Amino acid sequence: MYIGTKGDYGIRALIDLAMYGGAGPIQRAEIARRQHIPEAYLDHLLAQLRRAGFIQSTRGPGGGHQLNRPAAEICLLHALETLEGSLAPMPCLEDHDDGESDSVCAQQWVWREIYDDMRARLQAVTLADLAAREQERLRALATSYSI
Amino acid sequence: MYIGTKGDYGIRALIDLAMYGGAGPIQRAEIARRQHIPEAYLDHLLAQLRRAGFIQSTRGPGGGHQLNRPAAEICLLHALETLEGSLAPMPCLEDHDDGESDSVCAQQWVWREIYDDMRARLQAVTLADLAAREQERLRALATSYSI
DNA sequence: GTATTCTTGACTAAGTTAGTCGAGAATTGC
DNA sequence: GCAATTCTCGACTAACTTAGTCAAGAATAC
């Protein structure tokens, strides 16, 4: 498998910050509750996002986490790579600086195309896009209940 | 990671059969030596390919393995799925019969596009294509040595 | 000083990957 | 029928990854 709970939870946490973080820091407990993520586990994901510069955190009462940049300037590709590590689909495509390594597998050329397409699509999506989709999903859910 | 040694070795074994299997069965020892694959491990991969109908095997002296269909009629997608299992990049995309499961992750829509693109590309490549590429690679390698 | 909140590293259980090994079954040629 | 060859199958293993948990500690607000 590819995108596990790290990538899923981590991106959901970022979306949560984008949606509800307008008025100051949000606590991890709040994110965990809203997104159904184990709190202790979320800690590690937030730590990675902080170290990579996506969020900043403040301690003490009233503390929490908030985005360091506007959601429209955060792209899904970099956030996912921060959370999951390299997304390369096979070992011989890890950081391809086109230096010939000796492990050139037979299917490399197909997968290089697939990988390039994947990165392009992920780079085109911003956190703002994801938050807008989520907003819409919640709205649709709410109206379907109220009918 | 995605495509491991199962997918790499298994496809290389199929390419080997496509390239050298014209005149009768090829023994696993020969494939293993030519493709640098541990023989005992190759056993399991060949067994899976046999059970999925890609190859047939005969025992006894002079026995070995051969393709069940022309190389041009074997597509990379199905061979890889046989060897590696589902190629879905995230749990919520496993066999998507578009029934709403409750685990809908926020990024699903991007990844569904990526997955569809991936499957289309893999389906368009046949074993004959791969064998031709390999043939060319070996030829280029040989001439570069002889210069 | 106390309560709150984040920070960090150590630890664990379960599952996957990449194999190895050995007993056995089918086939060929004599 | 016997021996050699070759595939078949299931059990086993070591190392690694994933998905967490837990506890001690540091910073901040009041």
- Residues in chain A with CB shorter than 8 Å from the CB of B18 are none
What distance in Å separates the CA atoms of residue B61 and residue B59, rounded to the nearest whole number? Answer: 7
**Residue spans of alpha helices (H) in A21-126:** 28-35, 39-51, 76-84, 108-124
Cα-based distances in Å from B8 to B42, B61, B83: 11, 28, 9
Indicate which CATH number applies to the domain containing B140: 1.10.10.10
Spell out a b/e string for B94-125, using b for 16 or more CB atoms within 10 Å of the CB, else e. eeeeeeeeeeebbbbebbbebbeebeebbeeb
pLDDT at B143: 86
Closest chain A residue to B85 measured between Cα atoms? A1
| 8 Å CB contact of B2 and A106 | no
Contact by Cβ (8 Å): B83, B10? yes
pLDDT at B36: 96
- Residues in chain A with CB shorter than 8 Å from the CB of B8 are 90, 105-107
Contact by Cβ (8 Å): B13, B42? yes
Show the tokens assigned to A101. 């390594």
Successive 10-residue mean pLDDT values, chain B, 147 residues: 92 98 96 97 98 98 97 98 96 67 74 97 98 94 77
Domain that holds residue B55: 5-144
A2 touches strand D (CB under 7 A): no
What single string gives the DSSP state of each residue in B25-68? -B-HHHHHHHHT--HHHHHHHHHHHHHTTSEEEE-STT-EEEES
**Distance in Å, residue B3 CA to nucleotide D9 C1':** 25
Best of A78, A83, A118, A135 to mutate (most B CBs within 10 Å, chain B) = A118
List pLDDT tens digits, range A11-59.
999 999 999 998 899 999 999 999 999 999 999 999 999 999 999 999 9
Pairing of strands A55-58, A64-67: antiparallel
Question: Which nucleotide has the least CA–C1' distance to A47?
Answer: C7
For residue A63, count other CB atoms closer than 10 A to its CB: 13
Among all protein residues, pick the one whose CA is nearest to the C1' atom of D19. Answer: A5
A99 touches strand D (CB under 7 A): no
Cα-based distances in Å from A54 to A70, A95, A124, B128: 10, 22, 17, 46
Count of structural domains within chain B: 1
Show the tokens assigned to A122. 């992920």
pLDDT at B99: 47
Among all protein residues, pick the one whose CA is nearest to the C1' atom of C7. Answer: A47
Q: Could you tell me the pTM of the whole model?
A: 0.93
